[in-house]
């Protein structure tokens, strides 16, 4: 396997002192993820110190470590391991000669990142790289960069934030050639106060654009003027995507596909493309348009992108669909348990309303970090529930009390304190032919509901 980093390269990047010659083929900061050939970065946190696990990582096959205190293993000694991780990320970006894409947004950023990776990997197999999982914060983004192979032609990096200034720091490390904002919604509004402030923080992604870089902006967003104004300060070009007339990449038509997903005809500046999006829902049509705009911006293959969108793998917690048998039929579980905000809730409930099912059931967990607007935003889910024709709702968490009050006498519902009780309710009441949507903020733990329903025993 081609070395990812040599001891000399790591020492030069971090200003540290290498204990000797070695090479590593991977990077990790979670000791549980270290495998043969990996570099372990011993980060110090508020509650734990990675140095405690150095011996265990070498027992697991690790090749070297980044440490701030000497160890009896191959290592690079640095003053600050967290800063060393950032330094390695900067060095990785500096040696990369291909195109880099940064993706942010209140909703859709992980799905868009994955779709971009599959489109680019289809075009140049084995030469595209992306951040895994949702590694999108001040340590996750540098880790994803540090893991990027030296011969990568396309790198796709998801960037998240919940405070102003965080994206500005991340984007200057990533230095994207194309920077994408998928959508703006009141996620993390507890820390911002207004949606406008969220849009301003998301627009920070444009500040790291490379010379000649392109900003990709959602045309249908009410915050489009703000995003474009901020993009003009940093971008050489701006491309918009959406459904509205005037978007640079526009869906002329989007209709449900026979086997799920959508059939889309998109107009681009110099082409028209007909393709299928495997994942169902209008929000995925929007994600697909963002993908096409970005592929166009980095000089990618639009035809390969269209094929990749038709074959996208499902993402656990982000729309994965599982059918499991019951005695007289089957139940469909739609797993959206990883994240939730008012915009994504409304979009997935609308898609639930399009499902061909005997009953539509929604298991909805609390939406976190909504601040003083929490009660109103939770109560506001009543209309999307009704519009979707939901037959039964299971509401999870104390924050759902305002929605329970709004639903009284309108929809059959049960309000429970936690995911375990929600699983018991669903298991006792589900029937063949049901379509069950499970969606909430990750901290609510609704993945346990999905696991209980799909993990066997039915």
User: What global pTM score does this model have?
Assistant: 0.87
Name residues of the chain where pLDDT drops below 70. 187-188, 456-458
So what's the pLDDT on residue 151? Answer: 95
The C-alpha atoms of residue 264 and residue 249 are separated, in whole angstroms, by: 12
In terms of Cα–Cα distance, which of 125, 212, 121, 197 is closest to 161?
197
With contact defined as beta carbons under 8 Å apart, do 343 and 107 qualify?
Answer: yes
Q: Which CATH architecture has domain 5-88?
A: 3-Layer(aba) Sandwich (3.40)
The C-alpha atoms of residue 62 and residue 430 are separated, in whole angstroms, by: 47
Identify the CATH homologous superfamily for domain 96-310.
Answer: Mur-like, catalytic domain (3.40.1190.10)
Q: For the chain, how long is the longest CA-to-CA vector?
A: 72
So what's the pLDDT on residue 163? Answer: 86
Residue 32 exposure: Cα atoms within 13 Å on the Cβ side? 0
Task: Kindly report the CATH number that applies to the domain delimited by 320-454.
Answer: 3.90.190.20
Residue 350, Cβ density class (10 Å: 0-12 exposed, 13-18 middle, ≥19 buried) = middle
Residue 149, Cβ density class (10 Å: 0-12 exposed, 13-18 middle, ≥19 buried) = middle
For the chain, which residues make up each domain, given as ranges?
5-88, 96-310, 320-454
| DSSP, residue by residue, 215-257 | EEEETTSTTHHHHHHHHHTT-SEEEEEESSTT-SEEEEEEEE-
The C-alpha atoms of residue 374 and residue 311 are separated, in whole angstroms, by: 37
So what's the pLDDT on residue 188? Answer: 66
pLDDT tens digits for 97-156? 999 999 999 889 999 999 999 999 999 999 999 998 778 899 999 999 999 999 999 999
β-strand 237-242 against 5-6: which pairing, if any? Answer: unpaired
So what's the pLDDT on residue 142? Answer: 97
């Amino acid at each position: 396997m081609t070395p990812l980093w040599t001891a000399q390269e790591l020492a030069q990047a971090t200003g540290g002192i290498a204990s000797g010659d070695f090479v590593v083929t991977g990077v990790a900061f979670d000791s549980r993820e270290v495998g043969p050939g990996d570099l372990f970065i011993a980060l110090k946190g508020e509650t734990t110190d990675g140095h405690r696990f150095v011996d265990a990582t070498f027992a697991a096959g690790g090749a070297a470590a980044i440490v701030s205190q000497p160890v009896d293993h191959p290592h690079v000694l640095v003053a600050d391991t967290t800063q060393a991780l950032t330094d390695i990320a900067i060095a990785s970006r500096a040696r990369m000669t291909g195109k880099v894409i940064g993706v942010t947004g209140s909703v859709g950023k992980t799905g868009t990142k994955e779709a971009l990776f599959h489109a680019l990997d289809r075009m140049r197999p084995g030469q595209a790289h992306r951040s895994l999982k949702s590694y999108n914060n001040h340590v996750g983004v540098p880790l994803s960069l540090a893991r990027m192979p030296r011969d990568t032609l396309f790198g796709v990096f998801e960037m998240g934030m919940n405070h102003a200034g965080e994206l500005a720091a991340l984007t200057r490390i990533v230095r994207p050639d194309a920077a994408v904002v998928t959508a703006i919604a009141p996620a993390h509004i507890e820390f911002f106060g207004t949606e406008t402030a969220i849009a301003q923080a998301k627009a920070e992604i444009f500040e790291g654009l490379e010379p000649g870089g392109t900003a990709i902006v959602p045309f249908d967003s009410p915050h489009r003027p703000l995003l474009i104004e901020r993009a003009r300060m940093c971008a050489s070009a701006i491309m918009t995507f959406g459904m509205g007339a005037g978007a640079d990449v526009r869906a002329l038509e989007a209709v449900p596909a026979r086997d799920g997903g959508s059939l889309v005809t998109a107009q681009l500046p110099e082409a028209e493309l007909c393709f299928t999006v495997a994942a169902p829902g209008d929000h995925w049509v929007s994600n697909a348009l963002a993908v096409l705009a970005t592929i166009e911006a980095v000089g990618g293959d639009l035809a390969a992108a269209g094929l990749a969108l038709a074959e996208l793998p499902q993402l656990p917690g982000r729309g994965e669909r599982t059918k499991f048998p019951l005695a007289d039929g089957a139940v469909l579980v739609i797993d959206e348990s990883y994240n939730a905000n008012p915009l994504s809730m409304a979009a997935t409930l609308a898609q639930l309303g399009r499902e061909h099912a005997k009953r539509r059931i929604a298991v909805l967990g609390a939406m976190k970090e909504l601040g003083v607007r929490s009660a109103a935003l939770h109560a506001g889910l009543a209309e999307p529930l009704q519009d979707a024709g939901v037959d039964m709702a299971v509401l999870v968490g104390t924050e759902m009390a305002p929605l329970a009050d709004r639903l009284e006498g309108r929809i059959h519902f049960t309000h429970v304190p936690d995911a375990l009780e929600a699983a018991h309710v669903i298991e006792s009441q589900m029937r063949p032919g049901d379509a069950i949507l499970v969606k909430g903020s990750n901290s609510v733990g609704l993945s346990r509901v999905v696991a209980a329903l799909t993990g066997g025993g039915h």
